[in-house]
Each structure stands twice: as structure tokens, then as C-alpha cells.
Chain A
């Protein structure tokens, strides 16, 4: 497309119409903001920010609907984490068993160093159990570096319950039902 550019008239080349137009715009904005008091500024700490769904804030661990730890300590997130912010201590052969059925284990300790975390969301993406989610928190503060390493209890408390599917919940029943034939679907 060819844009037709008109020759500027003598009056326009004087620079005055543009000047007056600019004056009008700035005056209008000035008076509007002064009188109607509706500036676009958001007074952040007083007015809480609204974060859109899908925002990638701090990663937290979540519990399922029954209040059990979803994480099974598979350490995929630890492996994938680009800044190595996640450190998982697995329970080992003698450790505590998982607090839900159909899970082999749960982490002994699960630490996320929020100073290292880059909020990339790879842990959420890689988690086969949907146990870790990037929530909407974005301003994490602490008075010491050690405070910024969030442990399992803190992560679970902050993460809350996630109303997702519980993919192992009915597996035992399904397996039992498979022993009788024909299989009910």
C-alpha cells in the first residue's frame, strides 16, 4: 500500500498547528488528572496487584483433596531445574513411607532456594504427579539468605490444596477389579 503524503501547507510548516495541538492534548490530560482524580497509577503496596491466571510466580508444593502430599520424591524437578534451586532429600530405604496410598515414597525434605529460583516453570512442567505449581506470589522477602530457602512444610503450607485429578486414587480398586473377568469399564 502506498500512503499518500500530502504536501504540508504553508500554515502547517509554520509548526504552529502541531504546537497548538500538543498544547491541547497536554492541557486536557493535566486538567483531567487534576480534577477527576483517576490516574492510571496503581498504589502498589496499599492496593494489592491483580495477577492474571497463568502467571508464573513462586513454585510451591501442593496437597491433594485429601490433604496428602502429592510429591513422590522422583527428583525430576531437581534434575530439570536450570539454576539448581531445588534440593530434594529422598527418604531412603528406611525412611517414612508416603502419607497416601499408591505412592511409594514422599520426600524427606524438599527445599527451594527462592534466591536462585528463576520462576521458569520447568518444575511444574516436568512433574508427573502435578505436585508443584507456580503460584501467583511474586514478592518474596526475607531478612537473611537462610530465610529465603523454603523447606517442605513452608512450601506445602503456602501451596495449599490443588483440586486436580488424583491419578493413583482408584488404581488399587481398578487393579483388583481386573482380577475378575470381564473387566468393568
Chain B
């Protein structure tokens, strides 16, 4: 690695950032592809079915035990699905507004990727911090970018120039804007407790004082941490529900609602343009899961075996383990998303709005005041 040291610090920074971007993006896209498979398998198991188990690759499929097992698992389905959506006809209906029609998939895809940039997905590996952009305003940036995501959906609904996508787009915009407020308010208690917007700092604080959702271990039992437990739980629950609504997942599946709007805002899309909406949706889910992990579940830390401190030089295995812990927590959230999908029926539109404006937002506001009160009374 002599040639790396010969580079100037700026060049090194650029090099490592580009490397991290490539790794994270590659990993994210793979995870997205396999999240689709996981979604199908989890749905199948919950509904007493088998799920995808058909694709068999020529060479690997003939390995005695493994090949059959991977086929049963549906392991190659994401691969084949990807190839399929690329070679399908990319049909542009005659009545659409062309520019927006082409723009919308990209706009819905990019914000999801941008959010990942600020998330610390591990402690350190070598001398490098495992976060692409260590922003001081990490969470503000996230909320700014997440609100851009709604433009993709709205533009798609507008561009399609027909009624179902239009209705889907309108619903999605109203829903996402409403729940963004509740989401933003639900994380304010976290910042009151932590006192920093940097996501890395938030994780450090949680390593010392216990996870934000349940601040009992780590810093030991005190009146303050006991009083903060309900605040943490309430803000996590609100954040979780808002994240479901923000990512258009069931039970807040207003934008798509297959039974009413065919498939909502992406009815007119086909081939890879549809694929981009799909990737965007799942990348958004991953971003939401990563945010919840970081804000409420201690990010890459675990409160035992000394896994809550950044590794010292030479402990690269620990750095890898931290990345693994983060992934594990994130994937657990992804599983919960999929699980909830088959648990709850879709809300009616007015119920959705009612829940957002008349339940979530007042509750989040009350939670802010409660947290502030607790912190003021216990002298912080």
C-alpha cells in the first residue's frame, strides 16, 4: 500500500470515498434484489405457500446438493428478474408527458441512494470511518433528501396522464407530506437527549448511555434513563409507523393500492423504468431501516463483549463485525416491514390522514415536551 501513502491526503480522501460509494452502492443494489426475493419468500411462508423455486442455472444447478438447494431457495430469481426487466420492451404509451415520464423513475431512485450516504454502516476499517459522508447535519440532510422522494411519485402520477396513476400520485404526495411531519417530530426527542445531529455522534451516545429506544443499559440505571424509556419507545413507534408511510409500504399502500388503482403511480411504466421504481421503493425501505437502526437501536454497536467501542488499529475483524451487526439490525427491520405487510389490511384514505394528523403529530409534539421536561427536571 506504499502508493496509497504517496498520495496527498486530498487524493486519498477522494479515492476512499469513491471506493466506499462503489462498495455501498453495489451492496445496496444486491440487497435490494434479494429483498425482493425475501419479500416473496416471506409472503409465501406466511400464506402457507412455497414461493419462487424455479430458476436453475446450468452449471451450478448440477452440483449435487447445493444446486438443488439454491434452486429451492429461489436464489437465482433476482438475477433472472434483473435480466428480464432489462430485455423487456420499454413501452412508452402515446398519451404520456414524455419528459416527466422519463424523469420520474430517476427522481424516485436517486434520493433513496443519497440517504444512504450519511448513514454510518460500521465503525472503522483501517483508518477509514465507515460512512460515506460524515455530515454534522446528517439527519437534517436525510429529511431534506427524503422529502425529494415524493417528487418521483408525483411526477410519475402526473406524467402518466391517466386517472389511476394520477390518483395514486395525489394520494402518495398527501400521505408522504403528512407523515414527514410526524417523522421529523418523532426524532426531535432523540436530538434533545443526544444533543447532536451527527449520526456518528448519536451512535456514540447510544453506546455510552444505552439505545435510544430503551436507554437502560450502558450508562447504568438512573432516574433520568428510567424516565426517558417511554419517550424513547413512543418516538420509535411514531418513527416506525411514519417510515412505513414514507416508503409506501402496507398498511399505508395508498400510492399503489392494487385493488383500487391498478398499481397506482407506476401503472403506465414497463421494463426497467418500472424496475427503477421498484428498486427505489426497496432502497427507501433500506434507508428507513438503516435510519431506525442508527437513531434508535444503537447503529453498529452491541452492548456486550466490548462491541460498543470503535476498534483500535489492527482489529479489522472487529470493524467487519460491526458492519455485520449493522446489517443484521437493518435486515431485521426489513423482515419486520415484510411481516407487517401480511398482518394488517390497508387503511382507508381518510383513516390514514386521521391517524397522521390527529394522532401521530399531537403525540409526537407531546413526546417532545415530555422529553424536554424530563431532561430539564433531571438536570441535563
Contacts and interface: CB of A to CB of B under 8 A. Distances in A.
Interface in B324-380: 339, 342-344
A29 B46 contact: yes
A184 B121 CA distance: 99
Interface stretch (A19-27, A75-83, A113-121, A170-178): A19-27
A140 interface: no
Given A39-B50, A41-B50, A43-B50, A30 B343 contact: no
B42 interface: yes
B45 interface: yes
Given A26-B339, A39-B50, A43-B50, A34 B45 contact: yes
A25 B344 CA distance: 11
A23 to B, nearest CB: 6
B344 A33 contact: no
Nearest to B341: A26
A25 B47 CA distance: 10
Contacts of A43: 50
A26 B48 contact: no
Contact of A26 (B44, B49, B50, B343): B343
A18 to B, nearest CB: 8
Interface string A119-143: 0000000000000000000000000
B49 A30 contact: no
A22 B344 CA distance: 7
Interface in B1-57: 42, 44-50
Nearest to B344: A22
B195 to A, nearest CB: 33
B69 to A, nearest CB: 14
B45 A30 contact: yes
Interface residues of B, number: 12
A22 B336 CA distance: 13
B61 to A, nearest CB: 15
Interface string A18-58: 01001101110110111000111101000000000000000
Contacts of B342: 26
Interface residues of A, number: 16
B133 to A, nearest CB: 37
Nearest to A41: B50
Nearest to A20: B343
Contacts of A39: 44-45, 48-50
A29 to B, nearest CB: 5
Contacts of A32: 48
Contacts of B44: 33, 39, 41
Contact of B48 (A19, A23, A27, A40): A40
A33 B48 contact: yes
Contact of A30 (B46, B50, B344): B46
A26 B48 CA distance: 10
A8 to B, nearest CB: 15
A10 to B, nearest CB: 15
A34 B48 CA distance: 9
B344 A29 contact: no
Contacts of B49: 33, 39-41
Contacts of A30: 42, 45-46, 339
A30 B49 CA distance: 10
Contacts of A19: 343-344
A34 B47 CA distance: 11
Nearest to A23: B343
B226 to A, nearest CB: 23
B48 A29 contact: yes
A184 B150 CA distance: 92
Contacts of B344: 19, 22
A27 to B, nearest CB: 8
A40 B50 CA distance: 8
B53 to A, nearest CB: 8
Contacts of B42: 30
B343 A22 contact: yes
A11 B50 CA distance: 37
Contacts of B47: 29
Interface of B: 42, 44-50, 339, 342-344
5 contacts: A26-B342, A29-B47, A33-B48, A41-B44, A41-B50
